[in-house]
Amino acid sequence: MRRLGPVLMCLLGCGDDRSAQPINLVRTLGVEGVATLPADKVRAVALAGIDARTFVVVRATTQGADFCPQCLDPDSTDCGAICRRAVLEVSRLRTNGASDPPSRFHEAFPVTASYDVDGIDVVALDATHAGVAWLECDDATCGPSLARQSCTARYTTVDLLTGRHGSIETLYQGWYGELRLAFDPRARQLLALVGTQLASGVGVRAAIYDEQGAVLLSPWQAYGGRDATAPAATASAQGFVIVADDPAPSQPGPAEPCTEACDCLTSGAPELATGGLYAFWPGVVRPAERISPGRGAEGTYVPREVIAAIEAGDRVVVASSGAVDGVAELFEPAVGGWTRRHSSQAPLPMWLGALGDATHLAWLGCDLDPDSRAVHHLVAGAVLVGKAEQRDEIMALDAGDMVRTAPVHEDDGVTTTFVLRRVPAPAGNGATSAHFEVLAIRAAW
């Protein structure tokens, strides 16, 4: 395990006192590899943190090759191994290497030969139950080599001890976009969030359900303009909060959800005066709040392409990053709005995570190695609020793609986050296959 040393960029208030000793800003930011999972035939994968030592992984794996329409009949008994399906399974794992046996809880048979499971997400409801949502999508082409990606979202709860699942609910049907979940353990409510990473005209939509996904508590509605992107969500003491980059707030989202990719690939010009990073509060009578303007130093719009939101102490903390200005930032609420607590050189927006408690904040990301495509650098920017800040490398990693981060929310904030990465097979090495790795990143403040 490598650790982030106390190399400080600034000490506020020390003036010309050269005898001031550097504050040990982060006594340790440690990263540990806690699991390796096969990637063969995996269509979709996600994880959620249960506590600092326990996490849950869900996977949708393709089995069989033949489209068998008879398998859609729930009473069918003629669905052999040759029939194509997406097998959904859940595993509860611990950072010491122990794990429960994987539980297969559902098989999704395609409605047509062009259907498949294209996305999955999971939230921890408690130590022994998870909420899982997945997308069953029509991937027939709607344009030159472009998949329709019109999806129906299903949701169920799973007992992690027995593998039994509750009733399978339908959250929506025939929408285009990526689905994410957030769970509020205090109110026992589930947030379902649909959006895209890049501007597409889809915008951001969300609804609130009970934890079973059976009762709609706050209806689906759009948040921000039609080009709002990169949404992230978390629960807080004030309710759910969604954070998104909204370059044109005056351009409302579509009245009806966008149904397929070919109809959802347009975007408009940004509004320099009003665009920026915004917070929205679904289910709460509270206006949208602009966290930060989007106008850059040269008078052009600077989008935040990756966003993380966590509850840290008694407030919501937001981390954001983008390639245009190459800066990662940390924001928290202040009197009358929001304040930027930290800004430092950013990695490319490959992924972004966040840690924080009452007095410390940190963003996490990856840098490319300028000398080797096979190496990434795990980096962080951290701040001891009002006293010191720092940006440094934690460790080198094999090159890979970030799939998901899973912060663990505790009473004092988030001092542990799990990271799920897909690591491709090294070129020319037939003995090593692609796999997923799970990292645990911890701060001891």
pLDDT at 349 over 60: yes
Is the pLDDT reported for residue 432 higher than 70?
no
Better-scored residue on pLDDT, 268 or 183: 183
Closest CA to 148 of 114, 173, 179: 114
Residue 126 placed within a domain: yes
36 assigned to some structural domain: no
16 or 55, which is more confident: 55
pLDDT, tens digit (0-9, with 9 covering 90-100), for 106-150: 999 999 999 999 999 999 999 999 999 999 999 999 988 899 999
Between CA 55 and CA 441 the distance in angstroms is 13
DSSP code of 65? S
CA pair distance 240, 234, nearest whole angstrom: 6
Question: What pLDDT is recorded for position 25?
Answer: 56
Q: For the segment 179-226, what is each residue's pLDDT rounded down to a tens digit?
A: 999 999 999 999 999 999 887 889 999 999 999 999 999 999 999 999
pLDDT band at 254 (very low <50, low <70, confident <90, very high): confident
Mean pLDDT across 395-423:
94
pLDDT above 90: percentage of residues in the chain: 74
Domain assignment present for 90: yes
Q: Does 297 reside within a domain? A: no
Residue 141 per-residue DSSP state:
E
Q: Is the dihedral of CA 79, 81, 83, 87 positive or negative?
A: positive
Q: Give the mean pLDDT of 18-30.
A: 55
For residue 159, is it within any domain?
yes
Q: Give me the pLDDT at residue 199, please.
A: 79
Does 429 have pLDDT greater than 70? no
Encode 26-56 in three state secondary structure.
CCCEEEEEEEEEECCCEEEEEEEEEECCEEE
Pairwise CA distance, residues 291 & 38, whole Å: 40
pLDDT surpassing 70 at residue 12:
no
Task: Return d(Cα 195, Cα 258) in angstroms, integer.
Answer: 10
Confidence category of residue 11, pLDDT binned at 50, 70, 90: very low
Confidence band of 267 (pLDDT split at 50, 70, 90):
confident
Please report whether residue 58 resides in a domain: yes
Owning domain of residue 54: 41-73+82-175
Q: Which residues pair with 370 in a beta bridge?
A: none
The pLDDT, as a whole number, for residue 430 is: 61
Residue 327 has pLDDT above 80, yes or no: yes
Question: Residue 154 falls within a domain, yes or no?
Answer: yes
Q: How many whole angstroms separate alpha carbon 344 and alpha carbon 399?
A: 23
Tokens of 241: 């909060």
Q: Which amino acid is at 135?
A: L
Alpha-carbon separation of residue 390 from 367, 385, 394 (angstroms): 16, 11, 12
Q: Give me the percent of the chain exceeding a pLDDT of 70.
A: 92
E strands in 294-400: 306-312, 315-322, 327-334, 337-345, 353-356, 360-369, 372-384, 388-398
Convert the pLDDT of each residue in 286-296 to its tens digit.
999 999 999 98
Is residue 415 within a helix (H) or strand (E), and if so which, with residue range? strand 413-423
Residue 8 binned pLDDT confidence (cut-offs 50, 70, 90): very low
DSSP conformation class of 165: B
The count of residues in the chain is 445
| Alpha carbon distance 314, 297 (integer Å) | 32
What would the pLDDT profile of 299-320 be if each residue is shown by its tens digit?
899 999 999 999 998 999 999 9
Number of domains in the chain: 1
Euclidean distance between CA atoms 205 and 181, whole angstroms? 12
CB atoms within 10 A of CB 279: 23
Q: Parallel, antiparallel, or unpaired for β 372-384 and 360-369?
A: antiparallel
- The DSSP letter of residue 295 is B
Query: pLDDT grade, residue 431 (50/70/90)?
Result: low
Q: Is the pLDDT of residue 19 over 80?
A: no
Encode 115-127: b = buried (16+ Cβ within 10 Å), e = exposed. Answer: bbbbbbbbbbbee
pLDDT above 80 (res 357): yes
Residues 423 and 89: their CA atoms lie apart, in Å, by 21
Tell me how far apart the alpha carbons of residues 223 and 142 are, in angstroms, rounded to a whole number.
27
The conformation of residue 276, written as its DSSP 8-state character, comes to E
Could you tell me if residue 132 is inside a domain? yes
Q: Based on the number of CB atoms within 10 Å of its own CB, is 314 exposed (0-12), middle (13-18) or buried (19 or more)? A: exposed
DSSP string, 69-116: GGGGSTT-----TTB-EEEEEEEEEETTS-BPPPEEEEEE--SSTTEE
Residues 6+ apart with CB under 8 A from 328: 319, 320, 321, 343, 344, 345, 346, 347, 352, 363, 365, 381
Do 241 and 281 touch, CB atoms closer than 8 A?
yes
Average pLDDT of the chain, as a whole number: 90
247 three-class SS: coil
Q: Global pTM? A: 0.92
pLDDT at 228 > cutoff 80: yes
Residue environment code for 327-347, b if the CB has 16+ CB neighbours within 10 A, otherwise e: bbbbbbbeeeebeebbbbebb
**What pLDDT is recorded for position 332?**
96
- Cα dist from 19 to 8, 14, 260, whole Å: 15, 9, 63
